[in-house]
Amino acid sequence: MSYLFHTEEDRAEMLGSIGAESVQQLLDAQVPASVQLKRPLKLPAATDEINLTRELTQSAATNASTSSHVCFLGGGAYDHFIPAVVDEIASRGEYYTSYTPYQAEVSQGNLQVMFEYETLITQLTGLGVSNASLYDGGSAATEAVLMSLAIKRDRSKVITSDVVHPHYRETLAAYLHNVDVELVVVPSDDDGLSTPMIDAIDEQTACVLIQHPNYVGRLESVASIAAAAKEAGALTIESFDPISLGRLKRPGDLGVDIAVAEGQCLGNPLAYGGPYLGIMACREDLVRRLPGRIAGQTTDRRGKRCWVLTLQTREQHIRRDKATSNICSNQTLLALRSSVYLSLLGPHGLRETADQCIAKLSYAKECFEACERFEVLHPGAAVKEFVVRDLSADVGGLMDHASQSGVLAGINLDPLVGDSTSSLPDRYQHCFLVAVTEQRTRSEIQSLVRTLESAPALASPPT
Amino acid sequence: MSYLFHTEEDRAEMLGSIGAESVQQLLDAQVPASVQLKRPLKLPAATDEINLTRELTQSAATNASTSSHVCFLGGGAYDHFIPAVVDEIASRGEYYTSYTPYQAEVSQGNLQVMFEYETLITQLTGLGVSNASLYDGGSAATEAVLMSLAIKRDRSKVITSDVVHPHYRETLAAYLHNVDVELVVVPSDDDGLSTPMIDAIDEQTACVLIQHPNYVGRLESVASIAAAAKEAGALTIESFDPISLGRLKRPGDLGVDIAVAEGQCLGNPLAYGGPYLGIMACREDLVRRLPGRIAGQTTDRRGKRCWVLTLQTREQHIRRDKATSNICSNQTLLALRSSVYLSLLGPHGLRETADQCIAKLSYAKECFEACERFEVLHPGAAVKEFVVRDLSADVGGLMDHASQSGVLAGINLDPLVGDSTSSLPDRYQHCFLVAVTEQRTRSEIQSLVRTLESAPALASPPT
Amino acid sequence: MRNQQASQLLFELSRPGRRAHTFDSLDVPEPDLEQMFDSDDLAATPPPLPELAEGDVVRHFVGLSTLNMSVDTHFYPLGSCTMKYNPKRNERIASLPGFAHVHPMQEASTIQGLLHCLYELQEMLAEISGLPGVSLQPAAGAHGELTALFVAAAYFQSRGENRRVVLTADSAHGTNPASAQMAGFATKTVKSNGDGLVDLDDLKAKLGDDTAVFMLTNPNTLGLFDRQIETINHLVHEAGALIYLDGANMNAILGITRPGDFGADLMHYNPHKTFSGPHGGGGPGAGPICVRDFLAPFLPGPIVTRQMDDDGQPILELTTPEHSIGRVRSFFGNVGVLMRAYIYIRTYGGDGLRRVSEDAVLGANYLLSKVKHILDVPHGDRCMHEFVASATRLKKQSGLSAMDLAKRVLDYGFHAPTVYFPLVVDEAVMVEPTETESKQTLDAFAEALFRITEESDDLVHEAPHTTRISRPDDVAAARRPVLKWSDASDETATP
Amino acid sequence: MRNQQASQLLFELSRPGRRAHTFDSLDVPEPDLEQMFDSDDLAATPPPLPELAEGDVVRHFVGLSTLNMSVDTHFYPLGSCTMKYNPKRNERIASLPGFAHVHPMQEASTIQGLLHCLYELQEMLAEISGLPGVSLQPAAGAHGELTALFVAAAYFQSRGENRRVVLTADSAHGTNPASAQMAGFATKTVKSNGDGLVDLDDLKAKLGDDTAVFMLTNPNTLGLFDRQIETINHLVHEAGALIYLDGANMNAILGITRPGDFGADLMHYNPHKTFSGPHGGGGPGAGPICVRDFLAPFLPGPIVTRQMDDDGQPILELTTPEHSIGRVRSFFGNVGVLMRAYIYIRTYGGDGLRRVSEDAVLGANYLLSKVKHILDVPHGDRCMHEFVASATRLKKQSGLSAMDLAKRVLDYGFHAPTVYFPLVVDEAVMVEPTETESKQTLDAFAEALFRITEESDDLVHEAPHTTRISRPDDVAAARRPVLKWSDASDETATP
Ligand SMILES: Cc1ncc(COP(=O)(O)O)c(C=O)c1O
Ligand SMILES: Cc1ncc(COP(=O)(O)O)c(C=O)c1O
């Protein structure tokens, strides 16, 4: 039956050795009859590989995907190209069917990969130390805030901005709900920038959390904000876009203390939101408060260089309720994928990828700007995302229209506008967020704009 | 550039060590200027992975395939299910990027796989020995004939039948064209059986080549034919269908001397015809005339069981023009896939697969029989293929109609009917060959018949 | 047969100017970056990543992979981790573009097939647990614990109850107290009794008005089902608190008993354990949670719900529960892992899942029946899906620790059991064979343990002998952390 | 770290009743087989295949894979085999359902995308070779040789010429004479001269009225380009014979010189060498052939041709040449391998391919410049893409043979070079580094060779020491062949 091994003969022999009549007898001896389930589980019937493969292949084919549609969706998850090498490596059983490297002697592969990943992340961010991964960009941003609060024990204010990723802020709010911390979301200025945040920083501030480029694609004045935070004795957390660092300055070079990112863009499939990769790096002196596993270098009994999990006293399995975080399973396989991705790209490939995004985004912006119907909200520099306003249609309907023509045109920002801690400001009403990666072609961009332009307009535009 | 390694610095150092100014100088020293190409090759420009992947993914999507269409095509290549395990194993670099196991010490994986494959094939066929693979079913059938001719040096007649796979006969004819051998293609009887062949066997006959089930899906009287051949001192070669052996008697149990098969059905992708797997097994005493590589068991210097390429004096790299065949590269990776497939199926899975084919074929036959428009040519037992006649339409047009509705309905036999050595007899005019594998469902079969039934009929049916 | 270069680091293989990923020229105009960007924003040079050829990258990472033990290559009886066979069909199906290449911000209307699977998975998890409210959002078991505690906190808050304490068992996994602390609770530890079960007196003593949740692992980390469960259930609920079930050990009880039926109010699953999601060298996992109906309004959103359209056709939508705690991560959840769980459950069906647990219990008891002749097994000769032996006697007799034993096991071609966990057993050796190992393998493993106890102490002390490295110096690693390559010393190659 | 069970054979792992692949019940009526079939046709029991669980199968074959060296894991300088990096994008793209799951009997109208690629590949191969007629049908290099000889035979037959002899070089690969014999020709061997090139006098002596074809390898198996090529060309054609080029060494001359331009009338490619098709542990390969225009009518069919439809859109069709020899196998050809070649050529383009050959030549000459200080290299210090050294001096001095050297190389983590081929060099050591290896790797390999020559004779004689097995007894294997498992002795497991 499916993946089971024991033949009837095996079962009999095994029960004999145990000295039991049946497995039921073993269970009855342990599980009170009163709590045993007396009926079969009500689940769909067992299905063989042929039928399940057929059924789910057909089901998969009903979903729009980046294979069936041209994707301009972003907002923290991007349709960047995944080189074939990444899939080939990550599909090796020795990687994906192993556990956390608790026995270093038979886990040197995973441990070296983790050590290399950590090094790559420090190279990428310009910061001194990286952990071996967290769950995703959103929880990583939150863990960075918790880490800051632990470092700045006497401070209880966290400052962020309304152009930081709505999901990240919503996560942060959920985590902070039961603890005695004030979360201040500072409104961005008309240019979609978080600079006003500077004025909110005070002596009570443990940390500021900014995103660069921010959710609406704008480049923040990270260095100024970090300088102001430092001045006030607060820590600066930057949520960065890894691809953008092919061209933009690194967090470590901007005065940032803790850098976090969603690592999906580094060779990981979109997979409707996960598993993704939470990246986290920080100043070297903060390492003992860093959450998550860390691999480090040491030597074996024969003096040979090797790798181990280290600084484990930060972790839950040693320190229980005193740990820096509760994280146990992390995203090692995704960290592996990202290491392979970064190794393939190298410095020049990363720069070229960023530059291709910038060039194609610029072209897309121009195409929208050339169109009467649309307004590009924030002109100026951007790496892979920008906001377009269309007053002549319901944005949801517009996006539906496009997806029926095979284009995933953008993220409808209307549902994200509001006045909760996680909302976007009103300025983004009637807007959508367009992401352009290096994969998009000139003709795809042209057809995006053409498709949207041809969508029916509302009888009376909204006010 | 793509997969190259040398940096400019490397190049300079390497040239320095060689003592050459440039690679061009190295070339000029060896390749006469008169034959050097003075212009760049006229090939499409280099294309990066992103663009090539996009272009060819789009190109692939334009092809009908068993993923986009329901496939009832057979004729020696079948849409059997390929378990995920097969792909996973065969995509391991240690298998697919290694060479022929010339250094046994670092090739024990491939060698053991070959030895296991050979054993599996002997278990499957009931014959004493198997080689490690030939190119495909067609060339394997031909090699078996050449092998028979080499064994029966004093005989020069080869007998086969007009219901043996047309491609196999065409291949055989091409190979025999320059040698002094008479190829006799005996017409089948009205039931599509090759029994008349028996009367053609004589003292000059080196071998008979039959296919069972034959090209039109009929079960041959293999045992009688083999007995007659044996009586006349000739060898019997059976081209079998591996899946059918889940239910049918094995070649070795029918008195066959050499069994060959197309092994595509054992876990290998259709891939528009190749690479496929030529299976060949024979009586143990014929092994020294067997073409192709063979792995055998031996011990190492420490007495440990191990595997090597053996009986190499049959092969071209040792015996050159005295070899049993010229084959060098074979189909090891496909043999691996088939070994994994057979290991997963086991005796019961193979039987169940055959039985599901038989049941679904029977159902399909009934559906066609229930339809006035169609005639099922040969009633009676069949494993996975049968012939349908439609006098009311041009068969080519009928098949086109079906494929436009997402069904690859069958092989149009009209183009194969004729009077060359490789033709099918006239009885198969206006016919098509339908194959039904375990993958087909009741509703797919129903829609096959419905689709064909709904095809426009000819104004005046052919005569 | 080792490729010597494979022990080098990526950074040591790097050569300036070497390239793998290259690009065709742009098909759009090249913008003037200097003009477009503020010069303060631009980096003069890209990050100093290594420069490699594609062949370098492949050989490096393929080579490294061969230094790992894994379920695909070795028996991996790592207690508490349920290292069962990871089906290849799960990998293939979950990787189809229609599942794997779907953007998380796509509208529900464009992904009905996927949402159908996720909806069914919610229903399945509810049925298996006996708890009707399901959130697929958490990214791992620990994340599920945390999320459920947020839910519990919101629930009590909604009732105006100020319950600030979470009780955890001393045999619990470290994530339990860590999650409780992170969720803003104070923690108290409940002791185990001599049978390895919850010490009821201690539980009673610690339960009070301020108790929000008792976090229970059942079967617990000793592989024992707590037969006092009804009493526990009564006591905790009497005190007005909730029971949280750490579902890491669900592999023992699928279709046999349901957390909802034995008193749990909230729980998480580890689909990467119970439902064969591969562990990926440490992750990803997923941590879906199930809760009682009265807790469902507090679950994080979105959740997949089903409506009927005008034609009576089901339409799947994403909704957020009324009093939702919000969200605990970005986007929907670890869909890739969840899809594998879904495929796994579809493969077995209800009877099959029960059989999975039965075979897991059979295998563990069989191995226990052999191992008890080799090592002490302090908590009796019956267990559920795993058992915990102790190397204390061995340590006394020959100075060999659980660690020594574990290291020597590696030489026999098996991964080691979990050691030194749970903390309530000295020199713990925690063995979980899972249902996807043959009797032959279990016999060979028991035989290896036996042989090791007969071997010379030195041999075992110095183990492992056949692995790439001998025991690493953990102390030096922590004392003088080297956490990234700068120009770490190179390996020299001698065969 | 070796899993001991991995050395067992599938058949030894088998247990009656164990199952991997299982089936849902039939969705059509179950026929009565007894009634349907003649009882003579039915087997009482299915073939006695092994019975295994899915986990058995995976662990077994994954385990075995780790006993192979391969390009993905090791430098593999196996002369004549062009073990270059096998690009992963080729694997991914060729495996797309629209290429990999196409039935060979589909009508051309349903596979225009695929036929477009194959058509372009024909054009590319014609351009690279300078020979316009192309057949993609042959399944490997040797099969290409045979097919081309059939074409030559048909050509001469069409002219009424009775030419029954094929000349092959003494340095040629064994497939050359074997193919000639199989194609019905008599064979004669042409000697090499002292420079390792064709001995022109011997060629002249053997050329005659009865000569059909001279099979030439150029660059030859010594890695030398025959600079007498124009003379050879002249002599052979003067005699009314054709020149066949064994294209196994095309990796040396892409875009540098073309067989059609230096006199070849027919040739094969080995896309699994030159165009990066993986070797699969021995195959599959492909052996497309290119011929001069006057030979094209004899090629096997089908061939992809391009027509324009009424709208001027290209339509691809399958046609059979007018005087076709028929076919040499079933169906179209080894499309999976051909698609990889197509993708490879598209990746590099024309300039890129030339660079491939330049780097192959550079790498080989560089390695030669190092190795010549370690071993004798009888044919000078310049080569094309490979070179042949000789261990004769070593043998005289220390009794170490090419074989000993090769075995010891394995211990250094490299695959061995080809040894004892070509036959014209004593104790031949044939090294082909390919263009996809770094200078570091070449240096490490040369260093290993050097060290080996300094090592104690015994150490080298007894090599390899670090592999799974020591040297196998080939003689016993051939003398008492054990070619299948019956109940071959089991391995016992001691670490
Ligand atoms: C008993 C127990 N609880 C909780 C966890 C944490 O689960 P995860 O690693 O998925 O976060 C584990 C994992 O090892 C466990 O064994
Ligand atoms: C020089 C030469 N010719 C011909 C061949 C035969 O090619 P294949 O193995 O593809 O049949 C080879 C393969 O090793 C070769 O090296």
Taking only the tens place, the pLDDT of each residue in D195-218 is 999 999 999 999 999 999 999 999
The whole-angstrom distance between A391's CA and the closest CA on chain C is 21
Q: What pLDDT digit, counting tens, does each position of B123-155 carry?
A: 999 999 999 999 999 999 999 999 999 999 999
- C145 CA closest ligand 1 atom index: 4
Ligand 1 centroid distance, CA of C273 (Å): 9
Ligand 1 centroid distance, CA of C338 (Å): 16
- D272 CA closest ligand 2 atom index: 10
Instruction: Indicate whether C368 pLDDT > 50.
Output: yes
A128 close to A280: Cβ distance less than 8 angstroms: no
Whole-number pLDDT of residue D492? 40
Whole-number pLDDT of residue C495? 40
ipTM of the complex: 0.97
Instruction: Indicate whether B199 pLDDT > 90.
Output: yes
Kindly indicate the confidence band of residue C491, based on its pLDDT and cuts at 50, 70 and 90.
very low
Probe site for chain C from D56, D74, D434 (most C CB atoms < 10 A): D74
DSSP code of residue C361? H
Q: Identify all chain A residues contacting C489, using CB atoms and an 8 Å cutoff.
A: 305
Instruction: Indicate whether B413 pLDDT > 80.
Output: yes
Instruction: Indicate whether B457 pLDDT > 90.
Output: no
Kindly indicate the confidence band of residue A457, based on its pLDDT and cuts at 50, 70 and 90.
confident
Average pLDDT over residues B46-60: 97
Burial A30-62 (b: 16+ CB within 10 A, else e): bbeeebbbeeebebeebbbbbbbbbebbebbbe
Average pLDDT over residues D470-491: 85
Identity of the residue in B89, B246, B317 whose CB atom sits nearest the CB atom of D61:
B89
Provide the number of CB pairs (under 8 Å) joining chain A to chain D: 48
Is the alpha carbon torsion for D251, D254, D257, D263 positive or negative? positive
For residue A329 and ligand 1, the question of a CB distance below 6 A is answered with: yes
Ligand 2 centroid distance, CA of B439 (Å): 39
Residue B148 tokens read as 């028979």
Instruction: Indicate whether B382 pLDDT > 80.
Output: yes
Pocket of ligand 2 from Cβ distances under 6 Å: B 328-329; D 80-81, 140-142, 173, 175, 217, 221, 246, 248, 270, 285, 287
CA gap A327, A428 in Å, rounded: 35
- A329 CA closest ligand 1 atom index: 9
Q: What pLDDT digit, counting tens, does each position of A188-200 carry?
A: 999 999 999 999 9
CB proximity under 8 Å: A 178-217 to B: none
% of chain A with per-residue pLDDT over 90: 94
Instruction: Indicate whether D491 pLDDT > 70.
Output: no
Q: Do D29 and B359 touch (CB under 8 A)?
A: yes
Ligand at minimal distance from the CA of C285 is 1
CA Rg value for chain B: 25
For residue A26 and ligand 1, the question of a CB distance below 6 A is answered with: no
If one residue of C78, C80, C220, C270 were mutated to test the ligand 1 pocket, choosing by the most ligand atoms within 8 A of its CB, it would be: C270
Identity of the residue in B94, B97, B118 whose CB atom sits nearest the CB atom of D86:
B97
Q: What pLDDT digit, counting tens, does each position of B428-438 carry?
A: 999 999 999 99
Lowest mean per-residue pLDDT among B189-193, B404-408, D105-109, D490-494: D490-494
Q: Do C54 and B46 touch (CB under 8 A)?
A: no
A127 close to A325: Cβ distance less than 8 angstroms: no
For residue C391 and ligand 1, the question of a CB distance below 6 A is answered with: no
Instruction: Indicate whether C2 pLDDT > 80.
Output: no
C264 close to C331: Cβ distance less than 8 angstroms: no
Ligand at minimal distance from the CA of C147 is 1
Whole-number pLDDT of residue D495? 40
Q: What pLDDT digit, counting tens, does each position of D61-96 carry?
A: 999 999 999 999 999 999 999 999 999 999 999 999
Percent helix, strand, coil in chain B, to 5, is: 45, 15, 40
Closest by CA to D64, choosing from C73, C75, C76, C445, is C73
End-to-end CA distance of chain A: 63
Instruction: Indicate whether D494 pLDDT > 60.
Output: no
Q: Do D282 and B355 touch (CB under 8 A)?
A: no
Phi/psi at A282 (nearest 5 deg)? Answer: -150, 175
Identity of the residue in B177, B271, B308 whose CB atom sits nearest the CB atom of D100:
B271
CA gap C324, A201 in Å, rounded: 30
Q: Identify all chain B residues contacting C19, using CB atoms and an 8 Å cutoff.
A: 1
Identity of the residue in C45, C46, C337 whose CB atom sits nearest the CB atom of A275:
C337
CA gap B198, B207 in Å, rounded: 12
Instruction: Indicate whether D493 pLDDT > 50.
Output: no
DSSP string covering D402-443, please?
HHHHHHHHHHTTBPPPEES-STTSTTEEEE---SSS-HHHHH
Q: Do A300 and C62 touch (CB under 8 A)?
A: no
Residue D384 tokens read as 């094309």
Q: What pLDDT digit, counting tens, does each position of B253-276 carry?
A: 999 999 999 999 999 999 999 999
Which residue from C minimizes the CA distance to D58?
Answer: C72
DSSP code of residue B221? -
Between residues C492 and C64, the one the model is more confident about:
C64
A179 close to A268: Cβ distance less than 8 angstroms: no
Q: Do D78 and B99 touch (CB under 8 A)?
A: yes
The whole-angstrom distance between C125's CA and the closest CA on chain A is 10
Average pLDDT over residues C409-420: 97
The whole-angstrom distance between D67's CA and the closest CA on chain B is 5
Q: What pLDDT digit, counting tens, does each position of B235-254 carry?
A: 999 999 999 999 999 999 99
CA gap B298, C485 in Å, rounded: 47
Whole-number pLDDT of residue D490? 47
Whole-number pLDDT of residue D252? 98
Average pLDDT over residues C129-147: 98
Identity of the residue in B54, B93, B438 whose CB atom sits nearest the CB atom of A50:
B438
Q: What pLDDT digit, counting tens, does each position of A345-354 carry?
A: 999 999 999 9
For residue C270 and ligand 1, the question of a CB distance below 6 A is answered with: yes
Residue B272 tokens read as 């528009």
D40 close to B67: Cβ distance less than 8 angstroms: no
Nearest-10 crossing angle of helices A332-369, A442-453: 60
CB proximity under 8 Å: C 168-207 to D: none
Whole-number pLDDT of residue D181? 96
**Would you call B96 an interface residue with chain A, using a CB distance cutoff of 8 Å?**
no
Instruction: Indicate whether A1 pLDDT > 90.
Output: no
Ligand 2 centroid distance, CA of D444 (Å): 28
Closest by CA to C61, choosing from A112, B360, D37, is A112
**Would you call C438 an interface residue with chain D, using a CB distance cutoff of 8 Å?**
yes
DSSP code of residue A312? G
For residue C140 and ligand 1, the question of a CB distance below 6 A is answered with: yes
For residue C171 and ligand 1, the question of a CB distance below 6 A is answered with: no
Whole-number pLDDT of residue C490? 47
Ligand at minimal distance from the CA of C250 is 1
% of chain B with per-residue pLDDT over 70: 99
CB proximity under 8 Å: A 11-70 to B: 49-50, 53-54, 57, 67
| 3-state secondary structure labels for all residues of C105-134 | CCCHHHCHHHHHHHHHHHHHHHHHHCCCEE
Q: What pLDDT digit, counting tens, does each position of C467-476 carry?
A: 999 999 999 9
Q: Identify all chain C residues contacting A329, using CB atoms and an 8 Å cutoff.
A: 140-142, 270, 272, 279, 282-285
Closest by CA to D330, choosing from B150, B325, B422, B181, is B422
| Average pLDDT score, chain B | 96
Q: Do D23 and A88 touch (CB under 8 A)?
A: no
Whole-number pLDDT of residue D357? 98
Beta carbons within 8 Å of D450's beta carbon, 6+ residues apart? D373, D374
What Cα–Cα distance (Å) separates residue C249 from each residue in B23, C105, C172, C267? 65, 34, 12, 11
Instruction: Indicate whether A276 pLDDT > 90.
Output: yes
CA gap C300, C291 in Å, rounded: 12
Average pLDDT over residues A418-438: 97
B122 close to B253: Cβ distance less than 8 angstroms: no
For the full predicted model, state whether its pTM sits above 0.90.
yes
Residue with tokens 């053609």: B200
Neighbouring-strand partners of residue B417: B424
What is the CA C185 to chain-centroid distance, rounded? 23
Kindly indicate the confidence band of residue D6, based on its pLDDT and cuts at 50, 70 and 90.
low
Q: Do A219 and C41 touch (CB under 8 A)?
A: yes
| Residue C297: burial class (beta carbons within 10 Å; 0-12, 13-18, 19+) | middle
For residue C217 and ligand 1, the question of a CB distance below 6 A is answered with: yes
Q: What pLDDT digit, counting tens, does each position of D375-407 carry?
A: 999 998 999 999 999 999 999 999 999 999 999
Q: Identify all chain C residues contacting B93, using CB atoms and an 8 Å cutoff.
A: 58, 62
The whole-angstrom distance between A349's CA and the closest CA on chain C is 6
If one residue of C146, C173, C216 were mutated to test the ligand 1 pocket, choosing by the most ligand atoms within 8 A of its CB, it would be: C173
What Cα–Cα distance (Å) separates residue B64 from each residue in D112, D117, D330, D430? 9, 15, 21, 46
Average pLDDT over residues A49-74: 97
Ligand at minimal distance from the CA of D80 is 2
Q: Considering only CA atoms, which residue is closest to atom 8 of ligand 2?
A: D141
Provide the number of CB pairs (under 8 Å) joining chain A to chain B: 28
